[in-house]
C-alpha cells in the first residue's frame, strides 16, 4: 500500500512513474491491458507549466481554457469499464489535454476525440502527431451531438458531466456497444454511469461518484 499523504523524499522520474502505477493498482485499476497502456503513455507530456511536476500524482490538474486533465485513477477506471476491444472505433467527448484519447489509442483501432475549444484540439493533435499516434482523429465539435458522419461507435466515453446521457450519443452507440459517462448536476458530485446497448434498449449501471467539469453547449471561444 502506498500512503500518498506522507511527506516523501525527492524521487527520480523512474520512481515517480513506478509509484504512479502502484497507486493506479491500489485504486482498483487491475486490467493488465489498461495498465500497460497507462505505463506507455507518459502523463508528463500532457501537463504543461507549473503543474508539470505533479503529473505523476493521482489528482486532476489544470490545463488551458479553464479545463482539467482528469485524475489518473479515474481515467483508468473509466477505460477499464469501457472494455475496449482491438477492432473498436471509439468516440471520446472532451479531448482536454488528449491524455485519455492517447490511452484509448493503445487499445482501439480508431479513436475520434472532440472538444469545443480549438486550442485544446490543436495542442492535443500536435502531441498525437509527435508521438506517432496516427489512429486518433481530434476534431472541434459540440460533442453532445456526437459525430453523425463517423457513427456508429463501439464505445463512447464522455469526460464532462451532463444532466442526462445526451440522446444523439445513445443513438450513435452500436448494439452491444458501451458508453461510460458522468451524469449529474454540474459542480456537485456526479455518478459515473455505464450504458450498454442491447437489441431491445439500454441498460444502465451506476459505477461510482465522480466530479467532472460540465458538458457545455456550443463551441468555445479559443
Pairing state between β 173-183 and 190-197: antiparallel
Dihedral sign of CA atoms 161, 179, 169, 135 in order? positive
Residue 200 CB, shortest distance to ligand SAH, in Å, is: 29
**Closest to 34 in 3D by CA, of 124, 97, 102:** 102
How many angstroms separate the CA atoms of 145 and 167, rounded?
Answer: 8
How many angstroms separate the CA atoms of 76 and 67, rounded?
Answer: 19
Q: Which of 37, 74, 82, 93 binds ligand SAH (CB under 6 A)?
A: 93
Residue 62 CB, shortest distance to ligand SAH, in Å, is: 10
- In degrees, rounded to 5, the angle at the alpha carbon of residue 92 between the alpha carbons of residues 91 and 94 is 150
Strand partners, 115: 140
Instruction: State yes or no: residue 143 binds ligand SAH (CB under 6 A).
Output: yes
Q: Which of 73, 77, 84, 99 binds ligand SAH (CB under 6 A)?
A: 99
Instruction: State yes or no: residue 195 binds ligand SAH (CB under 6 A).
Output: no
Residue 18 CB, shortest distance to ligand SAH, in Å, is: 22
Dihedral sign of CA atoms 9, 15, 16, 22 in order? negative
* Residues tagged active-site: 70
Cell 493506479, residue? 24
Instruction: State yes or no: residue 156 binds ligand SAH (CB under 6 A).
Output: no
Show the binding pattern over residues 61-80: x = contacts ligand SAH (CB under 6 A), - = does not. Answer: ------xxxx----------
Shorter beta-carbon distance to ligand SAH: residue 74 or 176: 74
What does the binding site for ligand SAH look like in residue numbers (CB under 6 A)? 67-70, 93-94, 96-97, 99-100, 114-117, 120, 142-144, 159-160, 213, 215-216, 220
Amino acid at each position: 500500500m502506498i500512503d500518498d499523504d506522507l511527506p516523501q523524499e525527492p524521487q527520480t522520474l523512474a520512481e515517480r512513474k513506478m509509484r504512479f502505477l502502484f497507486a493506479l493498482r491500489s485504486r482498483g485499476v487491475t486490467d493488465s491491458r489498461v495498465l500497460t497502456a497507462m505505463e506507455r503513455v507518459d502523463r508528463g507530456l500532457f501537463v504543461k507549466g507549473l503543474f508539470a511536476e505533479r503529473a505523476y500524482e493521482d489528482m486532476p490538474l489544470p490545463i488551458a481554457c479553464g479545463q482539467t486533465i482528469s485524475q489518473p485513477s479515474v481515467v483508468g477506471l473509466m477505460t477499464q469499464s469501457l472494455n475496449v476491444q482491438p477492432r473498436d472505433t471509439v468516440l471520446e467527448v472532451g479531448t482536454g489535454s488528449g491524455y485519455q484519447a492517447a490511452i484509448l489509442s493503445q487499445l482501439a483501432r480508431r479513436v475520434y476525440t472532440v472538444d469545443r475549444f480549438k486550442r485544446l484540439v490543436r495542442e492535443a493533435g500536435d502531441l498525437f502527431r509527435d508521438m506517432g499516434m496516427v489512429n486518433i482523429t481530434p476534431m472541434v465539435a459540440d460533442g453532445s451531438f456526437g459525430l453523425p458522419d463517423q457513427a456508429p461507435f463501439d464505445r463512447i466515453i464522455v469526460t464532462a458531466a451532463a444532466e442526462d446521457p445526451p440522446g444523439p450519443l445513445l443513438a450513435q452507440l452500436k448494439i452491444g456497444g458501451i458508453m461510460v459517462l458522468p451524469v449529474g448536476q454540474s459542480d456537485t458530485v456526479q455518478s459515473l454511469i455505464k450504458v450498454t446497448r442491447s437489441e431491445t434498449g439500454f441498460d444502465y449501471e451506476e459505477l461510482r461518484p465522480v466530479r467532472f467539469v460540465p458538458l457545455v453547449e456550443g463551441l468555445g471561444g479559443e
